[in-house]
Amino acid sequence: MKWERIWRAVVPAIAATVTLLSGCTTYVSTQVTAFSNWSGSDATRTYAFARTAAQQNSIEQATYEQLVANELEAQAFRQAPSTDARYLVGLTYGTHSDTMTVTQPVFYGSPWPGPYWRPFNPWGPFGPFPPDYVTQSYPVFTHTLGIRISERVTGKEVYNVTARNTSEDPSLVHAMPYLVRSALADFPLANGAVRTVRIRYDKRGAVLTNEVPVAAPPAGASGASATPK
């Protein structure tokens, strides 16, 4: 039959389109907020991590500190004994769960004999018959990392940055590399800077470089975002 021949031709084309779409780049978007009174020079960027009582002897804390240390090294910081370091770096982190509700259109099957390719299906999104709507709820998780840098001798806070992203993955461990890189990108940001950093990610979960080049900072600012907000 004619329809069967058309259907056999259409199905491989649809399959090829799905295959191409599956290779599309995925991003992790992180909102970053910074407060800064930074005036340090490369020569004075020595630091040590400061831990709360609950963070002492924590393997999780040590794991996250190593990620932060790697990014700080790229910003010309050097780790030193706590008695000699000019700065103390403290970390706060956590995950908050919430529920997201989404309403989507649903197109029910046609009572007419088929098959129909969707754009020509009168029961599809381009047909004259309106869809029904179904509301669904699913859990989402907001992961947060705070990095606070203060002068060891005076206790004066000189930099405080918070990175936050949301996903369906409850694991803070999976989110942390993106949070760390986003929080310390283009250090130091201007005081009160708010921006969104988008970082490419592959199916193995590897963190890659920002796809969008960093824009020139506006007048009076010390940093700029890949995606300003």
Task: Indicate the domain borders of the chain.
Answer: 25-228
- Give 134's contacts (C-beta < 8 A, 6+ positions apart): 103, 104, 106
- Tallying the residues shown for the chain, one arrives at 229
Q: Which stretches of the chain drop beneath a pLDDT of 50?
A: 1-23, 116, 118, 205-229
Q: Which CATH number fits domain 25-228: 2.70.98.10, 1.25.40.10, 3.30.160.670, 3.40.50.150?
A: 3.30.160.670
pLDDT, position 110: 53
CA–CA dist 94, 164 (Å, integer): 10
C-alpha distance from residue 58 to each of 53, 69, 81, 82, 217 (Å): 10, 16, 19, 18, 38
Q: Which of 46, 65, 71 is nearest to 183 (CA)?
A: 71
pLDDT tens digit string along 95-109? 998 887 777 776 655
pLDDT, position 101: 79
Bridge partners of residue 32, in order along the sequence? 163, 195
pLDDT, position 146: 98
pLDDT, position 121: 53
pLDDT, position 90: 98
pLDDT, position 163: 98
For the whole model, what pTM was predicted? 0.68
